[in-house]
Structure 1
Amino acid sequence: MIWAATGSRPNPRNLFMMNHADFLNFALDAAWQAGRVTLGHFQTGVSVRRKADNTPLTIADQQAEQKLRQLIEQYWPDHNIVGEEYGNTQNNSPYTWVCDPIDGTKSFMCGVPLYANLVALLYENEPIVGVINLPALNEMVYAVKGGGCFWNGRPAHVSATKNLADAVVLRSELENQERYGRQEAWQKLVDASYVQRTWGDAYGYSLVATGRADVMLDPIMALWDIAPLQVIMEEAGGVLTDWLGEATIHHKECIATNGHLHSEVLSLVK
């Protein structure tokens, strides 16, 4: 358990005493516990049903979010919660926990280990903590605002690639570029870059934050998909913006780069 490294769990009555590091430790533990829930169903032939938007849903998604909500409500009962499967819990707090119990359910249901549990904390709608837990890979990439980015406990940093012609560029869904009018922009990136792969969803952003890829982009994102990513990318030395260059998690799209390549990427996709 992550908490074992820092002592006892916080007393929710002393919220005003908590600093960002305490929030991060809680987020790490919560994401780890959600990951253990998902691993109990991973590669077991778990049944899948389709939601109204045709995206897949498994009992692992539901149980993992239930675990996250249980922990948040136990230790931060005054905070708001936003989750993919169970909606919003509003407590009129400046703090909001945002949870994606399984980011990459399509990978999960296929038995592919490139899925994640995502936990973020927003303060007045701006991210201050972000965690990407990749339980089937035994990897965590995480950051706290002003405290740096880490990959399994060691400092993480974006790549030093300065030329798009040398860059590794990633995306998620194959059809989304065309569906959301971004196919021409994607083709420009393909033509200008060295390697292109669909190591997508949160896994792709973890690769950029740890210097294993240089650019990751999505033309459509929900808040729970993107909430942890900005603070992670910025603390790793990179940049995350929407497709017009605004640094935000609230525009339902994003581009993450190592920073050196951001202006060139934006010039191709705008």
Structure 2
Amino acid sequence: MTDSMENVSQPVRERLEFGLAEARNASKLILRYYHAADLSVELKADESPVTAADRGAEELLRKAIEKAFPDDGILGEELGETPGTSGYRWILDPVDGTKSFIHGVPLFGTLVGLEFEGKCVAGISRFPALDEVVYAARGGGAWWQKGTATPTQVQVKQTNQISESLFCYTAAELFDRVGARSVYDSLSRKAKVSRGWGDCYGHMLVATGRADLMVDPLLSIWDAAALIPIVSEAGGLFVDWTGQESQTGGNGISMTPGLKDAVLELTRPAVKS
């Protein structure tokens, strides 16, 4: 942790420090399955894949949280919700980018978001195969740590034109799924560079100043909760397609502030009422 985190309330700071340690522990479990020849893959009801790494990592995180903060709520992608009474709720996506994980691509991450009374106050995005983590708490800045190196504070780029931007996305067919292929086509055509570096990795590219724009047509709360404080503390915007900062909007955009008007001009009309 860094000195600037002293500006963060003690309860949030304690939970962030704890979350960083437990996300590292979850990484060790996940990496035991990474590149495993006998990895078993199941399909959930929505046709998305799930593995023992997803379930095992979430179980590890939940047990640790329940022991350390028994009054906190927990919501996880794989194991549902446990209500709490403290006002804090942990939101977990143990392997964001399971398809990348299954194929041996190292751009998957573990997302740990923290809410207090419904507001996202801290977020962790750890990349087990890269041994990197990006994290933030409201008022404490956004930080990027590689291995055991000293964390460095990060800021988004100051790009004001889509024509000068690096635009990231997860998969073009997701835009088709929500009837918004025109958004993808327009951004791909207008951007200087378009790349499918997706899932949480694309959003962290924006937060760390390596990309300018990441657009997701479909996001669940466990995909978004950790991203909001990280991107915002890096000086960027994380909003849904209507322009609202929300972990429940069903979609999401991470971007430099200078792109807001031009991007929302494309996404707002594509939102189904």
Say yes or no: TM over 0.5.
Answer: yes
**1:93 positional shift:** 3.2
Contact 2:159/2:256, CA 8 A, preserved across alignment: yes
Q: Which residue of 1 aligns with 2:172?
A: 174
Partner of 1:248: 246
Secondary structure, aligned partner of 2:60:
helix
Asked whether the equivalents of residues 188 and 269 of structure 1 are also in contact (C-alpha less than 8 Å), the reply is: no
Contact 2:220–2:247, Cα closer than 8 Å, also in 1: no
> Which residue in 1 is equivalent to 2:217?
219
Counterpart selection for 2:50 from 49, 57, 78: 57
Matched, 1:35 2:27: yes
Give the ranges of 4+ consecutive aligned residues of structure 1 lying more than 3 Å apart after TM superposition: none
Cα shift at 1:94: 1.0
Aligned to 2:137: 144
Task: Report how far residue 222 of structure 1 moved.
Answer: 0.7
Q: Does 1:121 align with 2:121?
A: no
Shift in Å, 1:92: 3.2
Q: Indicate if the aligned counterparts of 1:132 and 1:142 stay in contact, CA closer than 8 A.
A: yes
Alpha-carbon distance between aligned partners in 1 of 2:182 and 2:47, rounded to the nearest angstrom: 26
**Larger displacement relative to structure 2 (203-212 or 156-165):** 156-165
What's the Cα RMSD here? 1.5
Q: Is the aligned partner of 1:99 residue 2:92?
A: yes
Provide the rounded CA distance (Å) in 2 between the counterparts of 1:247 and 1:54.
28
Partner of 2:60: 67
For residue 192 of structure 1, what is the amino acid of its counterpart? Answer: K
- Give percent identity, aligned residues only: 39
Deviation, structure 1 residue 163: 1.7
Offset from partner CA, 1:153-212 (integer Å, 9 cap, x none): 110111122221010001112311011011011111112111111100000001000000
The letter of the residue matching 1:189 is: L
The normalised TM-score by structure 2 is: 0.91
Amino acid corresponding to residue 38 of structure 1 in structure 2: I
Q: Deviations for 1:106-161, whole angstroms, at most 9, x for unmatched residues?
A: 00011110000110110011110100000101110100011000000110111122
For residues 201-220 of structure 1, the aligned pairs below 5 Å read 201-220=199-218
| In structure 1, distance between residues paired with 2:82 and 2:10 | 21
The one-letter amino acid paired with 2:217 is P
Deviations 1:67-120 (A, max 9, x none): 000110010001000001100001233110000010000000111100001101
Shift in Å at residue 260 of structure 1? 1.3
Amino acid in structure 2 at the alignment position of 1:144 = A
Alignment length (residue pairs): 257
Segments of structure 1 that go 5 or more residues without pairing to the other structure are: 7-16
Task: Work out whether residues 186 and 269 of structure 1, in 8 Å CA contact, stay in contact via their aligned partners in 2.
Answer: no
Partner secondary structure for residue 257 of structure 2: coil
Q: Distance in 2 between matches of 1:162 and 1:32?
A: 36
Return the match for 2:127 from 126, 130, 134: 134
Deviates more, 1:180-189 or 1:110-119: 180-189
Cα distance in 2 between the residues matched to 1:75 and 1:118: 19
User: How far 1:22 moved relative to its partner?
Assistant: 1.4
Give the aligned partner of residue 108 of structure 1. Answer: 101
2: CA distance between counterparts of 1:19 and 1:124? 13
1:75 is matched by which residue type in structure 2?
A
